[in-house]
């Protein structure tokens, strides 16, 4: 998918001005609320009209103020998955799913009901009304409804923000696998960096109607480490835990991690670890209450405002820690320096 | 026991016929105006709203008189219809027009309230799923404003049953032709010894109104069950 945006839109409180060329099938749009993300969704879908400029999707102009082109929403074939599912309350799940499909020209109906029902596990919901579905079920139906319209592009406008954490991480695999399976590129709009890192390849960061050039989500997360409330979130995929003395032992690359908590079966589980929960030591501490003591080397130093981000090389894995500038000087942190990373067993938080 | 004269049955039948026709004729226009006012932006919208709501603030007698001027022999619309051989004034059709005009703002208001309750995102979802505006109108807005339509129709029906001032001026008070329940009651009350007959018709009037209210409740409750 190639999307060329060059547009301006003025509002009483701010104005949006973008000039971007986005390439890829999984693109993120990141920004705090009020930054213009939702406006961008409306402009792309044709629900709002830019003041001036061009929107070109895969070579076809959807909007061109100079050429007098402004395709109506139903001609753009861009479907939206909203934050709150917004299913049609007067239709059954089945009729909701088929709403867009029925309005798609036969030649373009590549995706059919059966495959979507199977991929999103909707069999049991089909005959039900939409008002008594749970939040996660509603969002799955909304995703199915959007897919069945056989769109060229899927706009996901904070699709997980209304769900609790557990549900969020249950739905993420669906979002990703479904778009891959049906080959529909998406634009993923969110204010969650973790979602960006799990779901997108390139991210456009918008703030106050302005955007920087797209960059990989990991880089964006590193850049924002200094200003973020939670530091940099290390994401660890851990599988096949061994129980030992009330702790969970996970093999992670060359090291073994000790975690508290209950395992999520033996399947792969996603854990988060904040860069602020990693303590760095120059020497091996003789006795320490923290359960994880990992020898490592400094891979890189990442500027992070008044703090210093330290990428740690643990053999074939990497963690990012964060220390204040003074500590970095005292520890003589420089690329290649040997260190010990100390992490409490309770610092890991299971996602999903 | 209540006894009704044959003329009373005619008045009851005529009242219902006029009210049903007025609702039937107004419904598409009421729906269209409510749609325009709720979902579109255009020049002169304020003017349209004002004109639609005017009958709500004007005395029905004034509306009747204005209709008489418009539809009468010398009115421009009346002359036009006269040329086509259509006579409106002092027929039951005039009563229908009077009821429709007087009840129109009530109907538009009720439908509009129903439409304003529709989540705009549902309409946007339908558009992005490939529905042109008229398709969205039929497949999303119409079914979701059903309650407003039911409320508007029963309001107008009830208002039409009670219409007096405008009707008596444009349709007159001709027994068997344009005499509806309120006009018949008026006649009974005005003539000596007519009170028992007037009371009987009042009772009929109350019964019909209650029936409409109950039907309306039933319909909207069933609707809530669906939604």
pLDDT at B223: 63
Average pLDDT over residues A284-291: 87
Range of the domain at B135: 6-58+90-226
Spatial distance between the Cα atoms of B122 and B21, rounded to a whole number of angstroms: 33
Cβ proximity of A189 and A155 under 8 Å: yes
Instruction: Say if B70 falls within a structural domain.
Output: no
User: Is residue A56 domain-shared with residue A167, that is, in the same domain?
Assistant: yes
Q: Which residue has the higher pLDDT, A209 or B188?
A: B188
Distances from the Cα of A124 to the Cαs of A98, A117, A118, in angstroms? 16, 9, 11
CB-neighbour burial class of residue A275 (10 A; exposed 0-12, middle 13-18, buried 19+)? buried
User: Is residue A318 domain-shared with residue A186, that is, in the same domain?
Assistant: no
The count of structural domains within chain A is 2
Q: How many CB pairs under 8 A join A and B?
A: 65
Q: Is B222 on the interface with A (CB under 8 A)?
A: no
Contact B128 A80 (CB under 8 A): yes
Instruction: Say if A9 falls within a structural domain.
Output: yes
Minimum Cα–Cα distance from A103: chain B residue = B130
Kindly tell me if the per-residue pLDDT of A352 is higher than 80.
Answer: no
Instruction: Say if B153 falls within a structural domain.
Output: yes
Instruction: Say if B129 falls within a structural domain.
Output: yes
Average pLDDT over residues A16-20: 93
Instruction: Say if B68 falls within a structural domain.
Output: no
User: Is residue A240 domain-shared with residue A203, that is, in the same domain?
Assistant: no
Q: CB-CB: which of A84, A131, A145 is closest to B129?
A: A145
Instruction: State which of A168, A199, A223 marks the end of a domain.
Output: A223
Instruction: Say if A165 falls within a structural domain.
Output: yes
Instruction: State which of A191, A223, A255 marks the end of a domain.
Output: A223
CATH number at residue B212: 1.10.3720.10
Q: Is B39 on the interface with A (CB under 8 A)?
A: no
Token pair recorded at residue A234: 């290390």
Give the gap in angstroms from C-alpha A173 to the nearest C-alpha of chain B: 24
Which site among A89, A91, A154 would you substitute to test the B interface, given the most B Cβ atoms closer than 10 Å to its Cβ?
Answer: A89
Range of the domain at A156: 2-223
Instruction: Say if A228 falls within a structural domain.
Output: no
What percentage of residues in chain A have a pLDDT greater than 70?
Answer: 100
What percentage of residues in chain A have a pLDDT greater than 90?
Answer: 70
Question: Three-class SS of residue A56?
Answer: strand
Q: Is B120 on the interface with A (CB under 8 A)?
A: no
Which site among A72, A99, A157 would you substitute to test the B interface, given the most B Cβ atoms closer than 10 Å to its Cβ?
Answer: A99
Q: For A319-333, how does the pLDDT look when each residue is reduced to its tens digit (9 = 90+)?
A: 999 999 899 888 889
- How far from chain centre, in Å, is Cα B156? 4
Q: For A222-273, how does the pLDDT look when each residue is reduced to its tens digit (9 = 90+)?
A: 998 888 888 999 999 998 899 988 899 999 998 999 999 887 777 888 999 9
Contact A146 B129 (CB under 8 A): yes
Q: CB-CB: which of B122, B124, B127 is closest to A88?
A: B122
The count of structural domains within chain B is 1
User: Is residue A97 domain-shared with residue A208, that is, in the same domain?
Assistant: yes
User: Is residue A274 domain-shared with residue A340, that is, in the same domain?
Assistant: yes
Which site among A38, A103, A106 would you substitute to test the B interface, given the most B Cβ atoms closer than 10 Å to its Cβ?
Answer: A103
Token pair recorded at residue A176: 């990703």
Q: DSSP character for A130?
A: S
Q: CB-CB: which of B121, B133, B226 is closest to A90?
A: B226
User: Is residue A192 domain-shared with residue A274, that is, in the same domain?
Assistant: no
Is ipTM over 0.85? yes
User: Is residue A120 domain-shared with residue A10, that is, in the same domain?
Assistant: yes
CATH number at residue A28: 3.40.50.300
Spatial distance between the Cα atoms of B87 and B68, rounded to a whole number of angstroms: 12
Instruction: Say if B83 falls within a structural domain.
Output: no
CB < 8 Å to B129, chain A: 74, 79, 99-100, 103, 145-146, 149
User: Is residue A52 domain-shared with residue A198, that is, in the same domain?
Assistant: yes
Strand partners, A157: A189
User: Is residue A148 domain-shared with residue A239, that is, in the same domain?
Assistant: no
Cβ proximity of B23 and B153 under 8 Å: yes
Instruction: Kindly give the confidence (pLDDT) of every residue in chain B, 227 residues in length, as a single tens digit, with 9 standing for 90 and above.
Output: 578 888 899 999 999 999 999 999 999 999 999 999 999 999 999 999 999 999 999 999 999 999 999 998 888 898 888 888 888 999 999 999 999 999 999 999 999 999 999 999 999 999 999 999 999 999 999 999 999 999 999 999 999 999 999 999 999 999 989 999 999 999 999 999 899 999 999 999 999 999 998 998 888 777 655 44
Q: For A168-182, how does the pLDDT look when each residue is reduced to its tens digit (9 = 90+)?
A: 888 898 888 888 899
Instruction: Say if B85 falls within a structural domain.
Output: no
User: Is residue A262 domain-shared with residue A154, that is, in the same domain?
Assistant: no
CB < 8 Å to A72, chain B: 127, 132-133
Spatial distance between the Cα atoms of A40 and A36, rounded to a whole number of angstroms: 6
CB < 8 Å to A77, chain B: 130
Instruction: Say if B174 falls within a structural domain.
Output: yes
Side-chain half-sphere exposure of B94, counting CA atoms within 13 A? 33
Cβ proximity of B172 and B90 under 8 Å: yes
CATH number at residue A336: 2.40.50.100
pLDDT at B227: 43
Instruction: Say if B82 falls within a structural domain.
Output: no
Give the gap in angstroms from C-alpha B144 to the nearest C-alpha of chain A: 7
Instruction: Say if A76 falls within a structural domain.
Output: yes
Contact B129 A100 (CB under 8 A): yes
Q: CB-CB: which of B121, B129, B144 is closest to A99?
A: B129
User: Is residue A160 domain-shared with residue A85, that is, in the same domain?
Assistant: yes
pLDDT at B69: 94
Token pair recorded at residue A286: 């003789």
Give the gap in angstroms from C-alpha B40 to the nearest C-alpha of chain A: 13
Task: Give me the residues of B, 138-197, that contact A with CB < 8 A.
Answer: 139-140, 143-144
Contact A149 B129 (CB under 8 A): yes
Distances from the Cα of B63 to the Cαs of B60, B78, B195, in angstroms? 5, 16, 29
Task: Please enumerate residues of A whose Cβ is less than 8 A from a Cβ of B.
Answer: 42, 45-47, 72-74, 76-80, 82, 84, 86, 88-90, 99-100, 103-104, 131, 145-146, 149
Average pLDDT over residues A31-42: 88
pLDDT at A351: 87
pLDDT at A211: 86
CB < 8 Å to B140, chain A: 88
């Amino acid at each position: 998918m190639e999307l060329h945006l060059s547009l301006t839109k003025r509002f009483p409180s701010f104005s949006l001005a973008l000039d971007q060329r986005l390439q890829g099938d999984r693109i993120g749009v990141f920004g705090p609320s009020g930054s213009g993300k939702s406006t961008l969704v409306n402009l792309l879908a044709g629900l709002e009209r830019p003041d001036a400029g061009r929107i070109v999707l895969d070579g076809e102009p959807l909007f061109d103020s100079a050429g007098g082109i402004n395709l109506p929403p139903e001609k753009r074939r861009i479907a939206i998955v909203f934050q709150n599912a917004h299913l049609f309350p007067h239709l059954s799940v089945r009729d909701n799913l088929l709403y867009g499909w029925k309005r798609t020209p036969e030649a373009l109906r590549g995706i059919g009901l059966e495959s979507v029902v199977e991929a999103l596990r909707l069999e049991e919901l089909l005959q039900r009304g939409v008002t008594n579905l749970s939040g996660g079920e509603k969002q799955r139906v909304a995703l199915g409804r959007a897919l069945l319209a056989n769109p060229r592009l899927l706009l996901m406008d904070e699709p997980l923000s209304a769900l609790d954490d557990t549900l969020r991480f249950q739905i993420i695999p669906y979002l990703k696998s479904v778009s891959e399976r049906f080959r529909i590129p998406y634009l993923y709009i969110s204010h969650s960096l973790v979602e960006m890192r799990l779901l997108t390849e390139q991210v456009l960061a918008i703030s106050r109607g302005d955007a920087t050039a797209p960059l990989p989500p990991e880089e964006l997360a590193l850049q924002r480490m200094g200003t973020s409330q939670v530091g940099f979130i290390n994401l660890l995929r851990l599988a096949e835990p061994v129980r030992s003395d009330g702790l969970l032992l996970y093999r992670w690359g060359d090291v073994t991690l000790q975690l508290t908590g209950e395992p999520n079966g033996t399947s792969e589980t996603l854990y988060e670890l904040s860069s602020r929960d990693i303590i760095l030591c120059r020497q091996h501490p003789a006795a320490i209450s923290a359960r994880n003591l990992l020898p490592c080397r400094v891979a890189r130093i990442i500027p992070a405002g008044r703090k210093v981000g330290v990428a740690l090389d643990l053999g074939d894995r990497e963690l990012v820690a964060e220390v204040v500038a003074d500590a970095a000087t005292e520890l003589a942190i420089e690329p290649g320096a040997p260190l010990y990373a100390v992490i409490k067993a309770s610092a890991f938080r299971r996602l999903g | 026991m209540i006894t009704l004269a044959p003329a009373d049955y005619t008045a009851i039948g005529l009242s219902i016929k006029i009210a049903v026709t007025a609702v039937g004729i107004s419904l598409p226009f009421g729906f269209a105006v409510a749609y325009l006012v709720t979902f579109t932006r255009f020049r002169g919208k304020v003017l349209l709203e004002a004109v639609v709501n005017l009958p709500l603030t004007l005395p029905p007698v004034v509306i009747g008189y204005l209709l008489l001027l418009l539809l009468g022999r010398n009115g421009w619309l009346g002359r036009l219809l006269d040329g086509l051989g259509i006579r409106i004034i002092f027929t039951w059709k005039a009563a229908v027009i009077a009821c429709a005009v007087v009840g129109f703002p009530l109907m538009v208001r009720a439908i509009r309230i129903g439409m304003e309750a529709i989540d705009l995102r549902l309409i946007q979802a339908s558009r992005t799923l490939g529905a042109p505006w008229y398709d969205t109108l039929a497949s999303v807005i119409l079914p979701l404003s059903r309650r407003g339509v039911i409320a508007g129709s029963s309001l107008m029906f009830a208002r039409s049953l009670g219409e007096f001032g405008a009707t008596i001026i444009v349709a007159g008070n001709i027994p068997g032709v344009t005499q509806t329940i309120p006009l018949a009651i008026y006649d009974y009350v005005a003539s000596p010894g007519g009170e028992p007959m007037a009371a009987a018709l009042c009772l009929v009037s109350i019964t019909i109104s209650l029936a409409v209210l109950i039907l309306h409740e039933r319909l909207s409750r069933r609707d809530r069950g669906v939604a």
